[in-house]
Each structure stands twice: as structure tokens, then as C-alpha cells.
Amino acid sequence: MTDRLYYHDSFLYDFEAEVRESTPGPKPALVLDRTAFYPTSGGQIHDTGVISTKTGKLKVTEVADTEDGRIVHYLEAPVDLKPGTRIHGQIDARRRRDHMQQHTGQHVLSAAFIRLFKIPTVSFHMGDDYCSIDLETPNLTKDQIESAERLANEIVLENRPVEIRFVTRDEAGKLGLRKIPPTERDELRLIAIQDFDLTACGGTHVRQTGQIGCIILRKSEKVRQGWRVEFIAGQRAVATARKDFTTLTETASLFSAHIYDVPQQVRKSQEEIRALRKQREQSQEELAEAQAAALLADTPESNGRKLVVRTFADREINLLKLLAQRLTRLSPQAVALLATRAPQPSLVFAQSPGQPFDMSALIKQTIATLGGRGGGSKDMAQAGLASADGIEAVLESIAATLRS
């Protein structure tokens, strides 16, 4: 069993210890007689840091707990140290302080949900960017979230002591704990927030609730067992608030508006976009109608049909389709071979119902020459081409076969 120094003092960042086991590879690791490094467990992520020996420094990248109570320090580089070698350990204090703020923040928050609404926390997750608790409740309202946030921050401001106590399982049963873990061990480690919360926990915590700094609740979402609430505490909350403000300020400047007016501005823009889209659609239909009429008027009738062959420099394929639809609707004799060079080289072939050709076959034939993808029906087909080279010549040669 490794002696867990953080059990008694979460603010111990430096320690001396002795090597018990050394694993050279493939995943180099050290087990010590004692350690301040916290292993990933109970929802809290592990510490990182450095282990120094007389011969050099070893970077600790991951720390894990084994079933038999040893703590394994995984190292960045291979190592071969004899049992009994003296080492000096130093954990990343900034990372530890962040973890203590998030974790103690979670105790306060979970207790706040119990105090206010009797809603228990069933699990806790700590990530590199945000933390979350899962609450066992069928419903969770915005008001409940805001009330829990307010109470949690009051407890932070009151700067209540956070104490570590060791009791037997029997004693713990009489104390009215928020949570008793299912373990075989007789001794339990309790974390007490004065007159507010008492729970069994093996994690690292601050000494006074004021050290949490603040607790901000963020996203909440329904999950299988209840509701998940994301939160951030301490410096992490400050960093996130700064990032939120920067994002919001950047957005507001796009609208030349105050940050609090952004939702209203976005709604206004969305309405404008909807209205403009509708107008554009209408204009395009009118344009297609007028253009179809002009093209039909310009095209002489031959063999009882009007063959319209046209290549545009720059036109969306949807507009080509619209034009083809209008041509074949305005005249029962129309056969249209339409193309555009840009923005995407494309073809639309169409004929009025009752005309004898097969547009789908013609498109396939064209793709075989020019390269591309497409298809359609007997009366209307389309294709996207790999390149616009040779479009006019191919359309002319198809037109020639249709005329003959």
C-alpha cells in the first residue's frame, strides 16, 4: 500500500520518498512508499509533476490507483531505479489547485441541490475544460439551477472551514452522511464543510470554501438517469468568463451593438435574411420566366420543335434548372441544352413532355466525353462536370444530332 500524503494535506506539493518498484517499459512507471500525487479516482483526474533523483528529473504524465492500494506514477521516459532509491517528488501545484477548486466546488454544489430540493448527485465528472454532476431527478428548472448556484456561492463567500476526518464505518453510519461509498475498508475519510455538508471522499479539497473562489453553473441537459449540470469553479471560472466576454464582444462588434443587444440583433438579421431569400426566390422565378420567353421567341422552330442551346459564363445550377422548367412549361415544343462554366461547371438538359428524346441518356453520353457525375429522367437530367473545357463544342454536336 502506498502512503497517501494528500489524504492529510492537499496543499503538500513537495515530498521525499523511496522507490518500491520500477517498471522500465513499455509503459515506464514507478511505485513509491509514499506520495503526494493524486491518482485518477472518484471523478477527479490525476496530478502531474516531476520526480527527481540524483541522476535527473522524470516527468510524471499519469497517476493511477491499483486494486491492492498501490499508486503507480507513469513516466514520460524509460527508467530503471533500484528499490530503496531516494527521490524528491513535486506535483504541478497550479493543476492541483484547479482540481481542488473544482472538486470542493462540486461538494458545495451537490449539497446545495440536496439542501434546496433534496436532489441527490449520482456522479461527478472532471474534465480538462469543464466539470459536471449528474443529478437524480426527472425535472430540473432554470430557477432551481439559479437558486443552487446562488446558495453555493453564498457558502463560498462565508469562507467555511473544510475539514478532513477519519471515522469507522459504524461511526459514519450515525453521522448522516450525504454519501457513503461501497467499500470493504473499515476506516472512512470524511470531508466536512462546516454546518453544510458531510460526505465520504478520497479526493483533494481546499481548506476554506473561500478558496473555491466562485462556482458558475453552465449547460444543463437531460441524460438517461436524470439531469447533467456543467459547472466551473475558481480560476477556471474566471478564464471562462473572460473567454465568453471576448466572444460576445467580437459578436457584438459585428452588429455595432452592445453585448446585451446581441440576441435581438441576431433575430433581426435572421428575419432580414428570410425576407431577402423570399424576395430573391421570387426575382429568380420572374427572371427565369422572362428569359425563357425571350429564348423561345429567338429560337426558330425546326421539325416541329424549338431547340434552345445556351452556355452561361456564371450561373448556379438551380437557376439553370429553373430556366429549363420554364422553357419546357411555356412551350410544348421545347428541348433545352443548358450549361454553365462557373461557379461549378454544370449541365441541365430538358424537354417538354411528349418530345421523343432521352435527356438522361444524353447526359450520360456527355459525361462520358467531358467527365463528371449526373443523371435524371427522360424529360430532365443534370450533371456536374469536372471542367468547363469543351462544353460548347459538345453541346453543339449533341444539338446537331437532335436536329438531324
Residues that bind Zn ion (CB under 5 A): 201, 203
CA–CA distance, 20 with 327 (Å, rounded to integer): 87
CA–CA distance, 123 with 145 (Å, rounded to integer): 17
- Say what the alpha-carbon torsion angle 316, 321, 322, 323 is, to the nearest 10 degrees: 90
Considering the complex, state which of residue 201 and residue 350 has its C-beta at the smaller distance from Zn ion.
201
Q: Least Å distance between CB 103 and Zn ion?
A: 5
Q: Least Å distance between CB 216 and Zn ion?
A: 19
Considering the complex, state which of residue 73 and residue 205 has its C-beta at the smaller distance from Zn ion.
205
Considering the complex, state which of residue 181 and residue 210 has its C-beta at the smaller distance from Zn ion.
181
> Cβ(191)–Cβ(206) under 8 Å?
no
> Cβ(356)–Cβ(329) under 8 Å?
no
Considering the complex, state which of residue 105 and residue 203 has its C-beta at the smaller distance from Zn ion.
203
Q: Least Å distance between CB 100 and Zn ion?
A: 9
Q: Which residues does residue 72 pair with via DSSP β-bridges, in sequence order?
A: 31, 64
Residues 6+ apart with CB under 8 A from 210: 156, 157, 158, 159
Considering the complex, state which of residue 210 and residue 262 has its C-beta at the smaller distance from Zn ion.
210
Q: Least Å distance between CB 99 and Zn ion?
A: 10
234-254 and 93-117 helices, crossing angle to 10°: 90
List, as one string, the DSSP characters of 68-95. Answer: TS-EEEEESS-----TT-EEEEEE-HHH
Q: Which residues does residue 307 pair with via DSSP β-bridges, in sequence order?
A: 335
> Nearest-CB residue to Zn ion?
201
- 3-state class (DSSP) for residue 291: helix
Considering the complex, state which of residue 127 and residue 375 has its C-beta at the smaller distance from Zn ion.
127
Q: Least Å distance between CB 270 and Zn ion?
A: 45
Sign of the torsion angle spanned by Cα atoms 94, 100, 106, 109: negative
Considering the complex, state which of residue 203 and residue 376 has its C-beta at the smaller distance from Zn ion.
203
Q: Least Å distance between CB 25 and Zn ion?
A: 34
Q: Least Å distance between CB 205 and Zn ion?
A: 6
- The single residue listed with the C-alpha cell 480560476 is 235
